[in-house]
Structure 1
Amino acid sequence: MSQSAIRTFLDLSTSHLREQTCLQLDDHEGVVAHNLRHGWLLFVPDPADEAASGDIDWPDELVPIVELAQASGCSYVLFDADGPQLDGLPVFDW
């Protein structure tokens, strides 16, 4: 019998992303993001899995967010229009 896994996510405001980045998330090599009604769900690869995290073309503002998610043990980042803004991360007005 297989065991299920519980995964965690970092909850952030979409204001931490540029509008252009949001429109082009799927265009970046290796980035896995699902467009939701009011945001995006972004997969964060395990940094120990070089095959999954090796050559991903992260947009600039996503680099510190992905690093924070990895350091926090999160598998995903939920970008939500009503999500919280985190001090220390850039905020873009759009």
Structure 2
Amino acid sequence: MHGAEHAAAAIIRDATPDLAITDLQLPGLGDAAIVALLRTRLPATPIVAVSGAGPEVLARARAAGADASVAKPFDWETLESAIAVVLRR
């Protein structure tokens, strides 16, 4: 693990969130690395990934385990809809 991955792992080590929302453009992590880390550490937690980097980045996030993805810029209703969908599963 790199420094950013260690920091992210430390944050979620003892967490049991009902939902994880993450930006994919985090310093020191590849675009889908945070999703893969979240999915490994929190297998039952729904993950919503957001990014302004383009549809291919969002597709990689879904392949890494994101339950939904939202392109930036987005309005609150779009994010709220994605959250509602993943929480119903």
Q: TM-score range by the shorter chain?
A: under 0.3
- The TM-score with structure 1 as length reference comes to 0.24
Greater relative contact order: 1 or 2 (C-alpha under 8 angstroms, separation 6 or more)? 1
The structure with more strand, counted as a fraction of residues: 1
- The TM-score with structure 2 as length reference comes to 0.25
Which structure is larger by alpha-carbon Rg, 1 or 2? 1
